[in-house]
Amino acid sequence: MNDRRSIRRYKKEEISQELLDELFTKAFRASNTGNMQAYSVIVTRDMEMKKKLAPLHFNQRMITEAPVVLTFCADFHRFSKWCEASDAEPCYDNFLSFFAGATDALLAAQTFAVAAEQAGLGLCYLGTTNYNAAEIAEVLQLPELVLPITTITVGYPDEMPAQSDRLPLNAIVHHEVYDDKQDIKALYAAKEALPENHAFVHENNKQTLAQVFTDIRYNRATNETCSEKLLAAIKAAKFFK
Amino acid sequence: MNDRRSIRRYKKEEISQELLDELFTKAFRASNTGNMQAYSVIVTRDMEMKKKLAPLHFNQRMITEAPVVLTFCADFHRFSKWCEASDAEPCYDNFLSFFAGATDALLAAQTFAVAAEQAGLGLCYLGTTNYNAAEIAEVLQLPELVLPITTITVGYPDEMPAQSDRLPLNAIVHHEVYDDKQDIKALYAAKEALPENHAFVHENNKQTLAQVFTDIRYNRATNETCSEKLLAAIKAAKFFK
């Protein structure tokens, strides 16, 4: 687990359904809300489907090049149908339930990720799922009370990139209460000093590494437009009562 | 990973900070959004702090009985401070950033969970974190742009409960598109047939297992009240532009 890295290039080799099912079995053992298992996974192997998904993930090559694309969804549709079939009135059309389903989906996704990596597979998460949730839901024909939360592309690794850096533990871990007196520049000094981050600042014609994030990668206009889109998608999925 | 179960009773033995740091190191290797690591963890060991947290988690005994309580938070405060110290204007006071931070926090939490279980520890997630997020934030002195997402109680196991059931894989996994023609009663038949679930229905004076969920455990009144509370907490943390 200390040696992991995201993998974005894959061999052409398929992943057997048997292996995938073994990994799902482990993934679905993860903790979840009240054992309702309020999530679903859509498996995409078909190239036509990958081509429909690709633009919704900004045409990142992993979508069409990975043998398997997994979309993990919050899902209270199945549970609600079970309630209706059991003389019970479902009541999961609200934000708390959405967040519980999203949590369940993410814990299952990450358990899948760890199990897959331990089995020799490589994978990459696509955060773009939150940018185009409604459009992805349409492609995957998701009914109400089902919304995509994250996407993982999976395959046998065909690259071994360098590990990305991480902040020191004391940037992240607080004891008893939040320490708001951290020396921020010291915590980010090693990150800023990395040659690849110097190059990153230079390529983007910026003065500081932080500006690459605020002005380009995660800028205000995109963040605010996509916040509205994500909230609209949650409402459209009937998760906002 | 196939043998795991949540553990709610712990030995009095402390967890060394060294072991905790090893597990955090693995956890923070998890995938995250743009390598911003938009999360923090608050470690609670102090009994006075546990006693403040306990009622916010409906006095579940694990809070005061576990040697360590971990509150995983979405955190764009640290990143925003770094931006400000780097001539960059932070723009993470919006819902998309909240959701990115929540995702990062949950992937780190689950990686911690898997690593901790593989190291012989036992743990339990507390979904109550989403019910009282603002109140927990106050106890832990979280600044703006930091919000608790989930809580894990951790310790050396002092019980070995039976594994809880899981739905069959074909309830959860869909191929290419969502299959809305599933035979719901068949998918839930094994769950409904379990002796412990029969007992659960009987103890709660209900006719069906689903009614125990809709009328008692996750009922409409609580779901809707807590949805409003959670949204208000997200807004109060300035994550809703």
Find the DSSP H helices in A126-176.
133-139, 169-172
Mutate to test the interface with B, among A58, A198, A227, A230 (most CBs of B within 10 A): A227
**pLDDT for A119-139, tens place per residue?**
999 999 999 999 999 999 999
Which residue of A40, A79, A86 is the best one to mutate when testing the B interface, meaning the one whose CB has the most B CBs within 10 A?
A86
pLDDT of residue B220: 97
Q: What is the model's pLDDT at position B139?
A: 98
Which residues are CB-neighbours of A20 under 8 A, at least 6 positions away? A43, A68
pLDDT tens string, chain B, 241 residues long: the values are: 999 999 999 999 999 999 999 999 999 999 999 999 999 999 999 999 999 999 999 999 999 999 999 999 999 999 999 999 999 999 999 999 999 999 999 999 999 999 999 999 999 999 999 999 999 999 999 999 999 999 999 999 999 999 999 999 999 999 999 999 999 999 999 999 999 999 999 999 999 999 999 999 999 999 999 999 999 999 999 999 7
User: How high is the pLDDT of residue B241?
Assistant: 78
Q: Are A58 and B178 in contact (CB under 8 A)?
A: no
User: Mean pLDDT throughout A142-155?
Assistant: 98
A63, A53 in Cβ contact below 8 A? yes
Residues B76 and B145 sit within 8 Å (Cβ to Cβ): yes
Q: How many CB pairs under 8 A join A and B?
A: 314
The dihedral of CA A109, A115, A119, A123: what is its sign?
positive
| Residues of chain B positioned with their CB less than 8 A from the CB of A106 | 103, 106-107, 110
Instruction: Report CA dihedral (B195, B201, B204, B207) to the nearest 10 degrees.
Output: -160
- The reply to whether residue A208 touches residue B88, judged by beta carbons under 8 angstroms, is yes
Q: Are B187 and B172 in contact (CB under 8 A)?
A: no
| Whether A211 and B146 lie within 8 Å, measured CB to CB | no
Distance CA A153, CA A69 (A): 5
Q: E-assigned strands of B109-199? A: 122-126, 146-155, 173-175
Nearest to B65 by CA among B117, B116, B8: B8
Q: Nearest CB to A88: which of B2, B131, B211?
A: B211
Q: Which residues of B touch A37 (CB under 8 A)?
A: 166-167, 171-172
Q: Is the CB of A96 less than 8 angstroms away from the CB of B130?
A: yes
Confidence check: pLDDT of A235 > 90: yes
pLDDT above 70 covers a percentage of chain A that reads 100
% of residues, chain A, pLDDT over 90: 100
Residues A73/A149, Cβ–Cβ less than 8 Å: yes
- Considering only CB atoms, B241 lies closest to which of A125, A169, A227, namely A227
Instruction: Reply yes or no on whether the pLDDT at A177 is more than 90.
Output: yes
Q: What is the mean pLDDT of chain A?
A: 97
Confidence of residue A241 (pLDDT cuts 50, 70, 90): confident
pLDDT at residue A47 is higher than 90: yes
Cα(B125)–Cα(B70) distance, rounded to whole angstroms?
10
pLDDT score at B144: 98
Mutation target among B21, B53, B141, B223 for the A interface, most CBs of A within 10 A? B223
Give the C-alpha separation, B161 to B135, whole Å.
32
Give the nearest partner residue to B176 out of A25, A46, A87, using CB atoms.
A46
DSSP string, A19-87: HHHHHHHHHTTS--GGG---EEEEEE--HHHHHHHGGGGTT-THHHHSSEEEEEEEE-HHHHHHHHTTT
Q: What pLDDT, on a 0 to 100 scale, did the predictor assign at position B107?
A: 98
